[in-house]
Every structure is written in structure tokens, then in C-alpha cells.
Amino acid sequence: MPATLSSSDSNDRSPDLRSPLLSPTRKPTEERESEKLCIDDMLQKYCGQFGPWQMRHFVLTSLAWALEAFHTMVMIFADREPDWRCLGGAAGSGCDVTARTVCGLKPGSWEWTGGLGSSTVAEWGLVCEEKYKVGLAQALFFGGCMIGAGIFGHLSDSFLGRKGSLTVVCIMNTIFGCLTAFSPNYWIYVLLRLLTGFSTGGVGLCAFVLATEPVGPTKRGTAGMSTFYFFSTGIAILSGIAYIFPQWRELYIASSIPSLLFLLAVLPFVSESPRWYLVRGRITEAMKLMRAIAKSNNKHLPEGVVLALDEEANNDSPTTNEEDQTYKELLDSKDAISGSLIDVVKLPMTRMRLFLAVAINFLCSVVYYGLSLNVVNLETNLYINVLLNAVAEMPAFTITAILLDKYGRKPLAIGTLWFSGVFCFAGSFVGNAGAWKVVKMVCGILGIFGMAGTYNLLFIYTTELFPTVVRNAALGCATQAAQMGAILSPFVVVLGGGLPFAVFAVCGIAGGVFAFYLPETLNKPLYDTMAGMEDGEGACRSVN
């Protein structure tokens, strides 16, 4: 009978119907364990360390370095002292054609060959007793960079994120860069350069961290070294732009428009850092991005894999699906983990690292920007000189990228600093006349060759020395120190003679000495939290 069968069938199946409520112990074959992994382990094991996704993201993000090169090095062309010529050419006009400077010449007896609009120096008469204003404008730009690096370093670690901060600085660069072209007088020009520097200071550090954080540990060093190709390429392109637009106002507009193009055409295709998502407690978005990375790299990220912070991933005990889901819900609802420079200073390990990173970045910047700005004193074609310096940097990036994972960060930092210091020391004894002028130029090129490799390496080194929660804040502090060195570099160049090269030599050699006290970070993980780094480094010391 149907009724009887239904009743019997119901009685037979009653244990199964009640099973979800009773939650009986599962059979071992039915229970699925999951694993908690930090981002580095997940990239290595499942997503791929540097596949098509990372390549596309790396190239798009690193294009921002060319923008920083435009806004920084434009001063070489906009603030240059152009050539001049005597009017009439007749004797007794008050103009001496053999004079090396216009100082002391009779007003109206000479003129700038490119016209008053060729540079700020020509338009506002920034020569002779007013020449200090050129250095002041350049120094205040780097001062703005120093302030901006600290502020945007903090904002990119906190609520704005890496991509949000990069968006803001590019908007500001576009606005202030274009407004600079309409400066009615010198002091408005200086103010706008200061504001441009403020936004420019955040471009490089945000772009660097955003480009390298999704890269696996064994590929991160090479990828990080490659970011500076974009900076050098930007300088080389700027030489061409400056040649096409010789008037300084046109040049500022032409060098600022690319920031707008980057905002509209590139940034929409750039993703936020999964590490930032993780430390901000946004695990769902972090996992979604990691799955997208795996899919784009033709990899598979299993459902049972859980993204975790360092100290949580160190717990190797397996978890079931129910425990995994509970963990995800807890991590999604937990407060964001944050940090600041105060936390860096409190911990002895990171305090010493920060001090050394600040000192080395400062000394390196004095040499790098000093040698870059010193091209105006070589009395040769300015456009060619800037182009050659940019080209000279590129082999340094290639060589350091090749040697980076073979010899490590520390030996390479010491070697490049001392390489630059030695050639700067030799340049300090060389005169600036006849054939010796060429020798001095070669010393300068080799000096910038070595220091370009160091400058590139320091971004990677500093990034790996600190955990995610304070990484951009620490990098911002080191960048601030670098901007302080850049502020001093124009005044070192003004010394003239062999003194600038002597100062550069001392800075390079001293920087190499400081690098001796930094730890090696080759093949070390990128820690997420201060506690995770302390535990990880402590475990390494106990093993050794």
C-alpha cells in the first residue's frame, strides 16, 4: 500500500533527515582539510610568482615612474641658463663677446638667443645676484617631495591604499603641472613647483610597492630592479619633449599631460594590492584578487586554501571546511591591522633598519641628483648630456638585476656605492679644460652609473626590510631622506670646481659603510605584520 510504504520509508530515512541537526562525526574520507597560507606561499604554490597577470600589472603600474621623471627632471630644461649674444657686434657697445657670463655687461647690449620665454632664468632675470633663486626653486620642489613622500606613504598604508594614493597624486600632478605653465611671476612659480613636488613625492613609492607586492619572493628582486627602466626612459623621452618644446611654459604643459593620460587610460586597469586588502581585514577582496591572478596565470587556486596573515599562517594545524568558513568570517569582520613609524621606532630591530635606510638613501640622493644636475656645468649640448645620463643608467639596472639574486642585496649595495664613490673621487682631481673635460665627464657618467644601480636597489631593499603594515610608511620615510639629499644637491653643484665631486665621493663611500650593518633579505618572505616579522626573524636566528 502506498501509505504503508511511505511510512516505512520515512522511518528508514529518519536518521538521515535528522543528521544535519545532530551533526554526527564525519568519516575521514568525507572531511576535507584546508590550509592557511600567507600571500608569498600562495603565490609560490598556487597562483604563480610572475605570470601574465603580474607582467601586465607591473608594466601598467610602473609607467607612473616616467611621470615622476617628467615632473622632476623638467627643471633641468625649464630653469637652464640659455645662450646669449651681443647686439650689434660693434666694439664699444658695452658687450664683451669673450665674457663667460652676462654679469657686468651693459643692459641692452646683449640678448638671450632663445628669447625671454626660453627659460625661467631668461624671463625673470635669474642670473648674477639673482642666481640663487634657481637653486631655491629646485630645492623647494624636492622639499615638497619630502613632505609628500611621508604623507602619501602613510595614506597608502592606511585608508587610501596603494592605488587610491597613486590616483590622488596623479590628479594633483596634472593640475599643478599645468598651472605652473601660467605662473605670472617667480614666487607663484616657486609655490606651484612646491605643490608639484608634494604630489610627485608619492608617485614613485606608491607605484613601486603596488607593482612589486603581488610578485612572488624569488621574482620580486628582478621585478623591482626593472621599475627604474621606466624612470630612465622617462628622462630620455623628456629630452625629446624639451627639444620639441623649447619654451618653458609649453614644456610644462607637454610634460604634465601624460599624467592625465595615465589617469584615464591606465589606472582603471590597475588592481589594488592583495597585501593591503589582507592587512585591512578585507579578506574576501584579497581572495577574489588571488583567484583572478591564478586564473590569468593558467593556475588553479583550490577552494580549501585560506589566505592568512603571517602569524596566523604559521599555525600549521589543518582545518575543516566549517572551521575554514568560520575563519573567513572572523577575518572579514576583524578590525584592520595598521601601523606607523612609531611602531617601527619602538621595535629595536626595525628601528636600526630605519636609521640605516634613512642614512643611505640620503647619501645616495646627494650623489645621484647632484651628478644629474651637474650636466649644466659641462658646457656641452644639454639635451645630449641628459640623454646620455639616462642611457648610462640602464646598463646599471640590467647588471644589478642579474646579480641581485645571485649575490644578494647587501653585497650589491656596498659594491655599487663604492664604485660610484671611487669614480667621483677621481673626478675631483680632474680639471675642466681641454681633454680633461672629457675625462671628468666620463667620471661623472660612471659615477651616476653606479649610483643609479644603488638608487634602484634601495627601493627593493627598503621594501623587504619592513612588514606590509608599515612598509609604505618606512619607504616614505626613506624617500623623505632621499629628498633631503636632493634638496642639498643643487647647492653642492653651485660650489663648482672639484668640490662637488669630492662631496659625492665621501657620500658614496660613507653609504657603503652604513650598508655593512643591514641584514640580507635575499629569499626572505615579505612579512605582513610586525609580530610576524619578529617571529620569523627570531626563528631564523635560532636556526642559525
Q: Identify the domain boundary among 315, 335, 357.
A: 315
Q: How many residues are listed for the chain in this entry?
A: 544
Mark whether 354 and 286 lie in a shared domain.
no
Mark whether 247 and 179 lie in a shared domain.
yes
Mark whether 411 and 266 lie in a shared domain.
no
- Rounded (10°) CA dihedral 457, 460, 466, 470: 120
Query: For residue 475, what is the domain's CATH number?
Result: 1.20.1250.20
Alpha-carbon distance 407 to 409, whole Å? Answer: 7
pTM: 0.76
Grid cell for residue 467:
612588514
137 within a domain of the structure (yes/no): yes
537 within a domain of the structure (yes/no): no
Structural domain total, the chain? 2
Q: List Cα–Cα distances, 6 to 15, 18, 19, 35, 94, in angstroms.
A: 15, 17, 20, 44, 121
Domain extent at residue 159: 39-82+118-315
Grid cell for residue 178:
599645468
Mark whether 398 and 456 lie in a shared domain.
yes
515 within a domain of the structure (yes/no): yes
Find out whether 297 and 277 touch, Cβ atoms under 8 Å.
no
Whole-number pLDDT of residue 322? 55
Mark whether 360 and 487 lie in a shared domain.
yes
Neighbours of 78 (CB within 10 A): 23
Mark whether 182 and 229 lie in a shared domain.
yes
Whole-number pLDDT of residue 51? 93
Q: Which residues of the chain have pLDDT under 50?
A: 1-32, 90, 323, 327, 330, 333
Residue 305, SS3 per DSSP? strand
295 within a domain of the structure (yes/no): yes
Alpha-carbon distance 108 to 175, whole Å? Answer: 37
341 within a domain of the structure (yes/no): no
Alpha-carbon distance 465 to 352, whole Å? Answer: 11
Whole-number pLDDT of residue 244? 93
Mark whether 356 and 304 lie in a shared domain.
no
503 within a domain of the structure (yes/no): yes
Whole-number pLDDT of residue 28? 45
Mark whether 63 and 185 lie in a shared domain.
yes
HEC string of 338-378 equals CCCHHHHHHCHHHHHHHHHHHHHHHHHHHHHHHHHHHHHHC
Measured in degrees and rounded to the nearest 5, phi and psi for residue 501 equal -65, -35
Whole-number pLDDT of residue 420? 92
Mark whether 404 and 264 lie in a shared domain.
no
Whole-number pLDDT of residue 378? 64
Whole-number pLDDT of residue 444? 84
Mark whether 224 and 294 lie in a shared domain.
yes
pLDDT tens digits along 227-254:
888 998 999 999 999 999 999 999 999 9
Nearest residue to 351 via CA among 364, 339, 341, 361: 341
351 within a domain of the structure (yes/no): yes
Mark whether 266 and 379 lie in a shared domain.
no
Sign of the CA dihedral running 317, 321, 323, 326: positive
332 within a domain of the structure (yes/no): no
HEC string of 263-287 equals HHHCHHHCCCCHHHHHHCCCHHHHH
Mark whether 203 and 308 lie in a shared domain.
yes
